[in-house]
Structure 1
Amino acid sequence: MVNEKPSLSFWQIWNMCFGFLGIQFGFALQNANVSRIFQTLGADMETIPLLWIAGPVTGLLVQPIVGYLSDNTWNRLGRRRPYFLIGAIFTSLSLLVMPNASVLWVAAGMLWILDASINISMEPFRAFVGDNLPKRQQPKGYAMQSFFIGVGAVVASMLPWILSHFGVSNSAPEGHIPDTVKYAFYMGAVVLFVAVGWTIISSKEYSPEELAAFGEQDEEAQSDSPVRDSGRWFKSGMLFMVPAALGTLLVWMLGWDKQLYILSIGLVLFGLAQWLMSWRRKTPKANSGFDTVMDDLFAMPQIMRQLAWVQFFSWFALFAMWIYTTAAVTSHHYGTDDPASELFNHGANWVGVLFGAYNGFSALAAIIIPVMVSRMGLRMAHSVNLLLGALGLLSFLWIKDPQWLLLSMVGIGFAWASILSLPYAMLAGCLPSNKMGVYMGIFNFFIVIPQLLAASILGLLLRYGFESNPIYAMVIGAVSFALAAMMVVKVKLQNGHQVELVGGGAHG
């Protein structure tokens, strides 16, 4: 008779998820202030999406690598916690350095380092829930993470606004970052390190031997990813390489917008990765981490394939919001495009309040959503929440008083909380425990790819369709949320047990 993972108490789940408060603290500071920093250092509106690709690219590269490494790590700190610590150290250092950047290229480079560091910590946290909780409690774990994400982001997003009300200078000479932003980043570095440190010292992990003793592990470990042969890898790579190479050539020859290089070169690289797999399959070689990630990418569970489209449109909308909210609010609601003006900085601080508000509403939604799921089911609850997000983004267009944008944040908060928990609840129980980290990293592809696409085409859509008016990025995001809401209804859950489990709530 096999053992079963024991249920954890409320406080044990609290401790293992508490580090997400710190991670989101850093993530929220980045989301609410990076566009402001770039504009302050001289970036124009059309180059901001290009500068923002640091996040998606580092996530695309780092998360599956860290997932694979953490699946195969065991030392005194455990399996996932060594990566929590490494990521926390480098993220905290990055938060200290970034607001002191004096030129644009330094700020852009620090964003790459900051994003990579956040991803080193963030990816194992998703797998941590799958490792430590029995399947019936996994949705509670993800809901708890969503709660801490909301709480951490509320304070972080509002910090510059709060500091300005305590007399910290909110303006600076042209080309310099205001003290409100600098001190917010310094405080974020401390909070992040302390929160992640608390999870490291207060939580335990199961050893590989203990995981192997659980029935879940035995059952799931039986099926490994099927391996494609060399010919199939080559043909698949060709399907990506030919159109992508032609597209790259056309962008160069015809002088099309350089942002399109993000898309075309990305497809070329993916084709090359498949050709590398074709070459590796021709001669016997020991399986590497690269082989594992590529094999598992093409052998992921069906429900993961279905959720890929939901994630794609959800995160396209979020990326549009993160990039353009500062520009949309300062221009549409405050009537200024001058980053050195007091009015612009007042509007930018209000965006921080708005971002704090939607994260605050998401913390409340993390408590309400399980009730919605128990009444509607996972798919309909997620669909409704995404439609609320669409309505929230669309309302930016017709709301004139920036104070009333707080109402828009209610819908966005519900969508955000839902995106951070319900797709993972739908996945709970269908991922092999011995590949939990690598599959969570692969699932991140469907968060990263839409962000890369957004960085490639959002600027073009605004320039040629809306005269570079950033408020219409909110409209594009609303349409994308609505498409995600339609896609989630088509997801076929393998069984209904997740619904009952999520319905138990995030707090006990």
Structure 2
Amino acid sequence: MAKQQPQLSFWQIWNVSFGFLGVQFGFALQNANASRILSDLGADPHSLSFFWLVAPLMGLIVQPFVGAASDRTWNRLGRRKPFILGGALAAAIGMVLMPNASLFTVFIVPIIFGVLMLAIMDASFNVCFQPFRALVSDMVPASQRNVGYSVQTVLINIGAVVGSILPFVLTNVIGLENTSSQGQVAESVIWAFYIGATVLFGTVLWTVFRTKEYAPKDYYAFKGVDKEKVDAEYAKSKPLGEKFTDFLSLVKNMPTVMKQLAIVQFFSWFALFIMWVYTNNAIAQHIWGIDKKWFDQSFIASVGGVPADIAAAKGAAGDWVGIIFAAYSLFAAIFAIFLAKLADKFGRKTIYAASLALGGFGYISFLFFQDLTMVDVNLLITQVTVPQGALNLLFPMIGVGIAWAAILAMPYAMLAGALPAEKTGIYMGIFNFTIAAPQIVSALTAGLILKYVFDNTAINIIVLAGAFMVAAAISVCFVKEKA
């Protein structure tokens, strides 16, 4: 019989996930600026998704191993915290190096160095992600699970808001340069990554030192698991082939709800990947009116570079991507405050499906907000002049933010109760397949779709993302959640 797991105070729950704020701060900077950096370093629009392929591949490779290792790890630092700390340190190093790719031209081509740093950063973020998810499952009792993942979602989106908006603030408030020459990264982006690395590592240290994980004896007692049996299983020395067979068995026998959620995850993460890769190009073309030829590296080379006015417009569009990404994260953080109560009242499936549908319609509505009329906008911290269409994009971000909040919380809340306590980490790692796989498919196909179906008109692929998000909403209806 399981021993009663103690209820946590709000601030204890807060401390468990506080480091995720910094991890998401760094992840948001990557999502909003990696395409911009890679383009500055020489990538063509239709090749961006191939460069981004390294990110989900890192997640696919890293998370199951991290999950399995963290299930078996019990040391003075804890069970999940050693991986969170190590991942944060590596991610911070990658964030410092990536925007400085041009400094390493003596040793390596900048675009290749940039992709390598993207791989290191994303691998490191993934080392943090899974243990943070499992840490909530470990520390928070079942009766507080909706609250636990909702608080985590709030913190994630606070980090994402600040991380997304930071390059814009550094340009329009501090006065750093946001334009770049070919092969160089804008000054505002470089300093944003420096700040992001500092925040990431600092907040993770807070969680590491303010959260005390349960000792193995107490943890297994709370979860109703025979510790001696688990220890005996972990003590067995198995050849690599048998370990691989055991892993395949876990995948084959994963809980039914995980298999059903995998379909939802495929559609939703396919759409998210498109947003992260192509929003920059989409709003630069559709909202700022920049001809798509100015995203073709061969054309740019043939005319001797990008004119100053086009470079300025691309810089402004890139900054505005940070604003709208910050907006959807802000709306996600606000919605996350009410998410637990809404899920308790109406059911997780209902709220999850409705949220994804709103996100899908938000993407599709990008198509209808083209307005090149320049307007002055007071953002409290500064005033800028942008096309009216750019300002209008804040409205669809409400739906995208609601969908993002649900994606961050609902699948894990629905899944956690169906996982065996002694294998929570590895199953959370396996569940990451459902995040990485659709991004890999998207990376392999989205660039080809953009080039051969949409003739490099990026707004059309954002609409396609909307259709996939609506399909995700429909898929939720077929999930049979364990009570």
Residue 380 of structure 1: CA displacement?
A: 1.1
Q: What residue in structure 2 maps to residue 358 of structure 1?
A: 328
Q: What residue in structure 2 maps to residue 313 of structure 1?
A: 267
Q: What residue in structure 1 maps to residue 53 of structure 2?
A: 53
Q: Structure 2 CA distance, aligned partners of 1:478 and 1:155? A: 25
Kept after mapping to 2: 8 A contact 1:68/1:289: no
Residue 216 of structure 1: CA displacement?
A: 3.3
Q: Structure 1 CA distance, aligned partners of 2:45 and 2:459? A: 12
2:393 to 401, 405, 412: 405
Q: What residue in structure 2 maps to residue 68 of structure 1?
A: 68
Q: Cα 1:377–1:290, aligned 2, differ >3 Å: closer, same or farther?
A: same
Secondary structure, aligned partner of 1:214: helix
Residue 391 of structure 1: CA displacement?
A: 1.0
Q: How does 1:186-201 map to 2 (within 5 A)?
A: 186-201=194-209
1:436 maps to 2:424: yes
Q: Structure 2 CA distance, aligned partners of 1:418 and 1:332? A: 28
Residue 285 of structure 1: CA displacement?
A: 4.2
Q: What residue in structure 1 maps to residue 158 of structure 2?
A: 151
Q: Structure 2 CA distance, aligned partners of 1:381 and 1:182? A: 39
Kept after mapping to 1: 8 A contact 2:329/2:401: yes
Kept after mapping to 2: 8 A contact 1:64/1:293: no
Calculate the TM-score normalised by the size of structure 2.
0.87
Calculate the TM-score normalised by the size of structure 1.
0.83
Secondary structure, aligned partner of 2:393: helix
Provide, for residues 64-114 of structure 1, a one-character-per-residue CA deviation record: whole Å limited to 9, x for no partner.
000000101111101000011101111111111111012111101110111
Q: Structure 1 CA distance, aligned partners of 2:243 and 2:51? A: 29
Q: What residue in structure 2 maps to residue 390 of structure 1?
A: 360
AA in 2 matched with 1:468? N
Kept after mapping to 1: 8 A contact 2:32/2:321: yes
Give me the CA root mean square deviation.
1.8
Q: How does 1:452-467 map to 2 (within 5 A)?
A: 452-467=440-455
Provide, for residues 11-69 of structure 1, a one-character-per-residue CA deviation record: whole Å limited to 9, x for no partner.
00000110110000110000000000011111001110000011100000000000000
Kept after mapping to 1: 8 A contact 2:262/2:434: yes
Kept after mapping to 2: 8 A contact 1:156/1:356: yes
AA in 2 matched with 1:333? I
1:139 to 146, 151, 157: 146
Q: Structure 2 CA distance, aligned partners of 1:290 and 1:23? A: 30
1:494 maps to 2:482: yes
Residue 306 of structure 1: CA displacement?
A: 0.7
Q: Structure 2 CA distance, aligned partners of 1:331 and 1:121? A: 35
Q: Structure 1 CA distance, aligned partners of 2:89 and 2:456? A: 39
Runs of 4+ in 1 over 6 A off after TM superposition: none
Q: Structure 1 CA distance, aligned partners of 2:44 and 2:81? A: 40
Q: Cα 1:215–1:416, aligned 2, differ >3 Å: closer, same or farther?
A: closer
Q: Structure 1 stretches of 5 or more lacking a match?
A: 226-283, 496-508
Secondary structure, aligned partner of 2:362: helix
- Identity among equivalent positions (%) equals 45
Deviates more, 1:73-82 or 1:286-295: 286-295
Q: Structure 1 CA distance, aligned partners of 2:452 and 2:180? A: 34
Deviates more, 1:204-213 or 1:332-341: 332-341
Q: Structure 1 CA distance, aligned partners of 2:247 and 2:239? A: 15
AA in 1 matched with 2:35? S
Kept after mapping to 1: 8 A contact 2:328/2:401: yes
Residue 353 of structure 1: CA displacement?
A: 0.6
Kept after mapping to 2: 8 A contact 1:2/1:215: yes
Q: Structure 2 CA distance, aligned partners of 1:155 and 1:382? A: 25
Q: Structure 2 stretches of 5 or more lacking a match?
A: 103-109, 296-305, 371-388
Residue 286 of structure 1: CA displacement?
A: 7.1
Q: Cα 1:291–1:200, aligned 2, differ >3 Å: closer, same or farther?
A: farther
Secondary structure, aligned partner of 2:224: helix
Q: What residue in structure 1 maps to residue 377 of structure 2?
A: none
Q: What residue in structure 2 maps to residue 98 of structure 1?
A: 98
Q: Name the count of aligned residue pairs.
A: 435
Q: Cα 1:291–1:138, aligned 2, differ >3 Å: closer, same or farther?
A: farther
Q: Structure 2 CA distance, aligned partners of 1:217 and 1:406? A: 48
Q: Structure 2 CA distance, aligned partners of 1:330 and 1:23? A: 28
